[in-house]
Amino acid sequence: MAEVLAVWDEAEVAMWRAVIEDQHLTAAELAESCIDNVRPFLTFRLNLRAVLPQMPDIAARRTLGRRQLMQGLAPLVAGHLAPEALGSLLVQIDQLGEAIARGDLADLGLSGAVAQQALARLIAQLRGE
């Protein structure tokens, strides 16, 4: 599992760097892309969360990966986000994107459009827009 997490972490850093640096897509387009990107990994993400409490070594590896992600992104957002704000935004984007992808809002009979707009606003904040 540690090897899978290492690959996951590398992909996550590359994805977030692209979100911040690529100005060809709007925040709304990136929100849609983030949701689409999460869908194939929903089972992996669910299983990862399930094993973290029972496997401290995997939990530690996940924490390390998140720290490395923040360290990698910090120079790109230093002009407009403190580390605390960066961490908060990453967690919010991750959780909201997953909830939309998982269909939590659809289960409530909602379109998810407002949540997707909120996700776009969070991405715009991350990008300093």
Q: pLDDT digits over 85-106, tens only? A: 999 999 999 999 999 999 999 9
Tokens of 11: 């992909």
The values of phi and psi at residue 111, to 5°, are -75, -30
Identify the band that residue 2 occupies on the pLDDT scale cut at 50, 70 and 90: confident
Q: Among residues 12, 122, 123, 126, which one has the least CA distance to residue 64?
A: 12
Does 108 score more than 90 pLDDT?
Answer: yes
Confidence at residue 87, expressed as pLDDT on a 0 to 100 scale: 96
The whole-angstrom separation of Cα 66 and Cα 20 is: 17
**Which pTM does this prediction carry?**
0.89
Q: Among residues 50, 10, 48, 28, which one has the least CA distance to residue 122?
A: 28
Higher pLDDT, 1 or 113: 113
pLDDT, one tens digit per residue, over 16-70 is 998 899 889 999 999 999 999 899 889 988 999 999 999 999 999 999 999 999 9
Tokens of 83: 């580390």
Residue found under tokens 């760097």 = 17
- Determine how many CB atoms are found less than 10 A away from the CB of residue 17: 14
Does 11 score more than 90 pLDDT?
Answer: no
pLDDT, one tens digit per residue, over 72-83 is 999 999 999 999
